Structure 1
Amino acid sequence: MFPRRLIYAAISISSAAAFVLFGYEFIRSVSSSLFIEAYGAENLMFGMALISPSMIVMLYCYGRLLSWRGATYAVAITSLFSGILILGCYAALVRGMDFAAVIIYVFREAYIVIVIEQFWSFVNSVLTTEQAKRINGPFCAVASVGSFAGGMLVKRWAEVLGSETLLLFAAGSLVPAAVFSVIAYRFGGEPKPSEAEVGGRLGHLGVKTLFRSRYLLFIGILILSTQLVSTVLDLRFNGLAEIELSDTDARTAFFGGVYGSLGAIAGVLQLVVVPLALRFVALRIIHVCIPIVHLVSSLVLTISPSLRSGTAAYVIFKALDYSLFRAAKELFYMPLSYDSRYRAKQLIDSFGYRFSKSGGAAVIGLVKLIVKTIPGIAFSITAMVAAMVWTPIAFNLTRAYQKLVNPK
């Protein structure tokens, strides 16, 4: 079922993902806490609004790099560049330059998806659909080990070392990530574009590929709806944390504990639930049930708002997003072309993820400028509405997928 070279490639690429997510726990907890300290949780939405422009720049650079040197060099260089930029932000923060808190908050949202999506593009290119149904869950689980370890260390070290120092771990983790990703490509082989796709002939960003395919557009719409839920739950979670935890380092430690627990929960789902669900449950049922779960958790948050219910709704969303939703969504890309997997996928899963978060935050920010104060309950109600929109989109997309893989 699995040739030895694919086993080694899977171990390598999942190890690379584990290192990336290990470091991300440090930058995620620290960047949120430092931004809140410098500008307040009520201004997080303005930081989020800067994400989309930064994503466009980084994705264009990634596309040019992919056209110039191929997938192996692209993943290695984007990983190492990210480490260098994080290191530069650390140097600025320890010198009291608050603007670096904005840079690190915005950049953390960009680099993580661009690097991680390259790992998934590799997996989607070298595995068959049946292999992916068995390996996607364990792949996510190995990656989550890094997430869990990073979160627990943030919780333990934040108040001892100070928030800024933890950025060094985020920067350092990207070096072994780059090394393991290159090893994975050596074992799995580098996927090659078709003659029509060589050198980015259809576009470095993949815009033409995306808009020529109704199927890819459906995936994009799915991502927009899911991330609207993510954005409002994120804002509600951070707002409740600011109210109940005023000390910066204590808040960083709390965030670290939450993210570490999130990694552990996601790991269990990835090892146990995902392989069984992908093999024995219809893809349509999986994708339709997920938004229903978020509808219920958001309803609980609306009825009984607290840091506990806010954390629960946020963790439930992220745990499913990192496990069952992620593994099931990746199957949509497997029958597609090189540019669809390496370029259009980045537009959808990197830019689409962050644009919906950034765009949603920008709209919320404009509303806030008009009404001054947005009641917290509005965020959870918005999550409920978005979850209800998400459900029919998932239904239609899975129908299109079945027609693609079973044309008869």
Structure 2
Amino acid sequence: MKRIKSIHSIPKSYFFYSQLFCPYIGYSLARPITVALFTSKATGYPGSPGAFPFAMAFVSPISVICLLWYGSILEKHGPRGALERTTIACAFSLLGASGAIEVAQRSNAVLWKTSIPVVKLISGPLFVFRESYVQLLTSQYWSFMSSVLTPNESAKWFAPIAGLTSISSVLGGTAVSYLSERLKLSGTLACTSIALLVSLLASGKAYSIAEKNGFSPKPREKKKIKVNKKQQKSDQHNGEDHEGVRGLVVTARKLFARVPVLKALFVEILASQSLATLLNVCFVASVAKTIPDDTLRAGWVGNFYALINVFSMTLQFAVLPFLMQYIEPKDLWRFTPLISLGFTTFQAFQKNPTLYAISASLLVMKVSEYSARRLLDEMVYVPLDFESRFLGKEIIGVFGYRFGKSVISLSLSAMTSIFGQFDLQTMSVLSDLAAVGWVRAAWNLSSLVPTRKEAQESYDKNSSKNGKNR
């Protein structure tokens, strides 16, 4: 069967409608639930101003552990096996946390010889895990698409595919209030794990279609080269072994040196996530202060993110596919962060920013991240090789996104310890400075992003080298 016929069958497969649909529904349920638990008087840390930055500081280490685990599974079992195993592990981790929260709340259990509720010891790690697991899984779904679509096809399909994820996020976000009133917060969290398990059926169908038609993503076979023990020890001493954090750093450094656009993308993600973290800190502090009731707060946060996805969906279906026919990706890279800069500047000039002013800045940032940035980000990987799409993408997606958040969170925790708690206006000024950094990083990245014609030529060159299995 010819490849182009197989590619055209992909939009009709379960992959586009379920493999991404279910995980995004689950995450849209998990996000407001974990925020509500973390900021609740009964289950979280509302009286500790530094709790949120402190928790975010742990996201990066957990993400590194997830990344090392993923790399090991990818090497042993390939992309399909890695997706199946990581999905199952994340689903049962969330299900276990849900059960533990329910038991702890019913029994009013406290830590041995203290008055600390056990549920508080669950809500903190759960919040960190929720921040870490989503990128680990979604990067694998998008890596698959980057492998089976050409640059021209990706420009056509990525925006509406992302639109489907926005639809699922809207459904999940708006369902939070309904489900939490009937199943409580712990029961609603369990629905996330169910959604992930359902996605396994869709991912299995997608990979089966790809394998049947000969375009399943596979790495190039490495030639076995005999080396003596002395040379092997020398290679390991110089970082040629790929074990642990050191091996990950070596791998990333070599990959970034070979593919400069990935290094620029990594820096851009660090900058954008620094802004996202600062706005999130403002948002969490403001929403906890403004809406004290746990269930109402969970519903409000769910509806807020649903609204974000409504705007994202509109752009993904009605605007971006049309726009990408007339402008180059590099031009959109330059324009996107400028909108956020305008909103954060307005927020920074407010003496006491309201929840709505802060929410507007976060909404604009998230809409651009979910629509334009998601499209542009994925288009970068399409013409690249297997290592860039599956290992490089995970390094950037899992570690890059979370490292930016952790660095800012650690910095905020340190500055809070030295100077005291920052007010919302100060945090807003810091957010505006982060927006300026994002603009600069995006501009530098845009100079390395190829035109659509150049991307197609690069894709054709890689395909001729590696054959059908990219």
Same fold (TM over 0.5): yes
Identity over aligned residues, as a percent? 25
Q: 1:212 and 1:202 mapped to 2: Cα distance? A: 18
Q: In the alignment, which residue of structure 2 is the partner of 1:113?
A: 135
Q: In the alignment, which residue of structure 2 is the partner of 1:225?
A: 271
Q: In the alignment, which residue of structure 2 is the partner of 1:354?
A: 402
Q: 2:253 and 2:268 mapped to 1: Cα distance? A: 19
Which residue of 336, 357, 361 maps to 1:313? Answer: 361
Which residue of 429, 442, 446 maps to 1:398? Answer: 446
Extract unaligned runs of 5+ from structure 1: none
Residue 401 of structure 2 is aligned to residue 375 of structure 1: no
Which secondary structure state, in structure 1, belongs to the residue aligned with residue 447 of structure 2? helix
Equivalences, count? 405
Q: In the alignment, which residue of structure 1 is the partner of 2:15?
A: 13
Alpha-carbon distance, 1:333 to partner: 1.4
Residue 341 of structure 2 is aligned to residue 295 of structure 1: yes
In the TM superposition, what whole-angstrom CA distance separates every residue of 1:173-203 from its partner, at most 9, and x where no partner exists?
00111221121112234211123499xx984
Which residue of 283, 290, 308 maps to 1:237? Answer: 283
Alpha-carbon distance, 1:155 to partner: 2.6
Alpha-carbon distance, 1:386 to partner: 1.9
Which secondary structure state, in structure 2, belongs to the residue aligned with residue 400 of structure 1? coil
Extract unaligned runs of 5+ from structure 2: 105-117, 225-239, 459-470
Is residue 154–residue 166 contact of structure 1 (8 Å, CA) maintained in 2? Answer: yes
In the TM superposition, what whole-angstrom CA distance separates every residue of 1:185-240 from its partner, at most 9, and x where no partner exists?
12234211123499xx9847542543433322111101000101100111111111
Which secondary structure state, in structure 2, belongs to the residue aligned with residue 67 of structure 1? helix
TM-score, structure 1 as length reference: 0.94
Q: 2:34 and 2:304 mapped to 1: Cα distance? A: 15
Q: In the alignment, which residue of structure 2 is the partner of 1:81?
A: 89
Alpha-carbon distance, 1:282 to partner: 2.2
Is residue 301–residue 313 contact of structure 1 (8 Å, CA) maintained in 2? Answer: yes
After the TM superposition, which of the residue ranges 126-135 and 182-191 deviates more from structure 2?
182-191
Alpha-carbon distance, 1:290 to partner: 1.0
Q: 1:147-186 to 2 correspondence within 5 Å?
A: 147-186=169-208
Q: In the alignment, which residue of structure 1 is the partner of 2:316?
A: 270
In the TM superposition, what whole-angstrom CA distance separates every residue of 1:31-87 from its partner, at most 9, and x where no partner exists?
111011211272111111111111111111111100001001111111111110001
Report the structure number with the largest CA radius of gyration. 2
Q: In the alignment, which residue of structure 1 is the partner of 2:98?
A: 90
Q: In the alignment, which residue of structure 2 is the partner of 1:47?
A: 55
After the TM superposition, which of the residue ranges 158-167 and 19-28 deviates more from structure 2?
158-167
Is residue 148–residue 259 contact of structure 1 (8 Å, CA) maintained in 2? Answer: yes
Q: In the alignment, which residue of structure 1 is the partner of 2:382?
A: 334
Which secondary structure state, in structure 2, belongs to the residue aligned with residue 335 of structure 1? coil
Residue 51 of structure 2 is aligned to residue 29 of structure 1: no
Residue 153 of structure 2 is aligned to residue 131 of structure 1: yes
Which secondary structure state, in structure 1, belongs to the residue aligned with residue 196 of structure 2? helix
Q: 1:72 and 1:225 mapped to 2: Cα distance? A: 31
Which secondary structure state, in structure 2, belongs to the residue aligned with residue 162 of structure 1? helix
Q: 1:72 to 1:394 in 2, by over 3 A?
A: same
After the TM superposition, which of the residue ranges 375-384 and 73-82 deviates more from structure 2?
375-384
Q: In the alignment, which residue of structure 2 is the partner of 1:251?
A: 297
After the TM superposition, which of the residue ranges 72-81 and 90-99 deviates more from structure 2?
90-99
In the TM superposition, what whole-angstrom CA distance separates every residue of 1:315-341 from its partner, at most 9, and x where no partner exists?
111111011111012111122111111
Is residue 330–residue 449 contact of structure 2 (8 Å, CA) maintained in 1? Answer: no
Is residue 33–residue 252 contact of structure 1 (8 Å, CA) maintained in 2? Answer: yes
Which residue of 216, 220, 225 maps to 1:190? Answer: 216
TM-score, structure 2 as length reference: 0.82
After the TM superposition, which of the residue ranges 210-219 and 344-353 deviates more from structure 2?
210-219
Q: 1:114 and 1:67 mapped to 2: Cα distance? A: 16
Which residue of 271, 286, 308 maps to 2:332? Answer: 286
Identify, as 1 or 2, the structure richer in helix: 1
Residue 370 of structure 2 is aligned to residue 325 of structure 1: no
In the TM superposition, what whole-angstrom CA distance separates every residue of 1:267-288 from its partner, at most 9, and x where no partner exists?
1111112212222112222111
Which secondary structure state, in structure 1, belongs to the residue aligned with residue 320 of structure 2? helix
Q: 2:204 and 2:98 mapped to 1: Cα distance? A: 27
Q: 2:318 and 2:286 mapped to 1: Cα distance? A: 32
Q: 2:411 and 2:75 mapped to 1: Cα distance? A: 35
Is residue 72–residue 190 contact of structure 1 (8 Å, CA) maintained in 2? Answer: no
Q: 2:45 and 2:126 mapped to 1: Cα distance? A: 14
Alpha-carbon distance, 1:132 to partner: 0.3
Which secondary structure state, in structure 2, belongs to the residue aligned with residue 13 of structure 1? helix
Is residue 278–residue 328 contact of structure 1 (8 Å, CA) maintained in 2? Answer: no
Which secondary structure state, in structure 1, belongs to the residue aligned with residue 400 of structure 2? helix
Which secondary structure state, in structure 2, belongs to the residue aligned with residue 402 of structure 1? coil
Moved over 6 A (4+): none
